[in-house]
Amino acid sequence: MKLKDVLRQYNEQSLYFYARDLGIQAAKEIAIEELYEKMVEMILSKHHIENRLSILDDETYRVFMQVLSDEEIEEKDNLRLERLLDYDLIVFEGDELFVVEEVKDIFLRCHNDSFFQQQRLQKVWLLQCQQVLTHYWGECSIEQFWKVLLLKDCFMEDVDIQALLQQLPVGEVQIAIKENQVYWRSLLNSSMLKEYRKSQKRFDYYLPTVEEIEMLFECDYDIQQEGIQKLKTILLSKELEDDDVDQLLHEVWNDLSYGLDYEGIFTRCLEKTGLTSTELPLSLMKDIDENCRKFIYRGHTYLETINGTIGHMNHGEY
């Protein structure tokens, strides 16, 4: 199946959002077949496929290779399959999974390219290190952020962080660099940043291990979201292990982000935890659903409009 065939599977709203994000103006006025061709041309010419392949962590990369080799995928890798589907790298034909034709050609060029693989390791580690800011610090100096990046030897001090950030799909970028500071972009203004730093004082630039950082990345969710905070408090009251709570919060956040039915997720949450609907009201899950990020079309996340180049925004614009 080719990229054009993948685009045919999009619903109308998703297709037009995707076209707009690719920079195609007045997409609704373009004949549909012509629009498909324009979109494929933009995806390929702007190296979107290379950029998506270059942010696959080792485990997701392994699953991609398994699909390419027509191997059976284990259930434990379903989240990694979702990610590959979200990036239009693989596609279902009936009940079978295949690598998209153009993606296969590009991958075969990149796979044995040592520069591509080096950049992939750097980008993945940069994405993982973002979580230290979003879960622990809120902001830090560029020098402090480098201490985290240098925990892995794929990073050396001559790596251009700004250049790497600009190659990442916008939905993946959670940080911005201004002058000598690195900020969590979700904190809308300096007063929010100040409050967050105050609440996270216990971490006060505590330097986590590589394993901790990788776990933060695996169990990513928006810890600032009020509903998530309430759900975490309820789960911890059941004396569940912290790691189990983090994993469950990640699953809830991830499933809601992909548009799955919040009532079904709520039912599964009760089954997993032994909570009652009195202890965990359905209205809380509905609130989280209404306020979480949404993957409103496969291929990209549409989070916000970015004014200017990533990393060069005014403090009040995050």
- Please report, for the domain that includes residue 80, its CATH number: 1.10.10
Q: Which of 80, 110, 140 is the last residue of a domain?
A: 110
Residues 240 and 306 in one domain: no
pLDDT of residue 114: 95
pLDDT of residue 258: 65
Residues 312 and 254 in one domain: no
Q: Is 252 a member of any domain?
A: yes
Q: Is 246 a member of any domain?
A: yes
Please give the model's pTM, rounded to 2 decimal places. 0.76
pLDDT exceeds 50 at position 185: yes
More confident residue, 90 or 306: 90
Q: Which of 110, 127, 146 is the last residue of a domain?
A: 110
Secondary structure (DSSP) of the chain: --HHHHHHTS-HHHHHHHHHHTT-TTGGGS-HHHHHHHHHHHHHHTTHHHHHHTT--HHHHHHHHHHHTTPPPPGGGHHHHHHHHHTTSEEEETTEEEE-HHHHHHHHHHTT-HHHHHHHHHHHHHHHHHHHIIIIISEEEHHHHHHHHTTSTT--TT--HHHHHHHS-GGG--EEEETTEEEETTS-SHHHHHHHHHHTTTTTT----HHHHHHHHHT---TT-HHHHHHHHHHHHTT--HHHHHHHHHHHHHHHHTT--HHHHHHHHHHHH---TTTS-HHHHHHHHHHS----BTTB----PPPSSTT---GGG-
The parent domain of residue 144 ranges over 118-214+300-317
pLDDT of residue 142: 94
Q: Is 219 a member of any domain?
A: no
Residues 139 and 197 in one domain: yes
Residues 89 and 128 in one domain: no
What is the rounded average pLDDT for all residues in the chain?
A: 85
Residues 186 and 71 in one domain: no
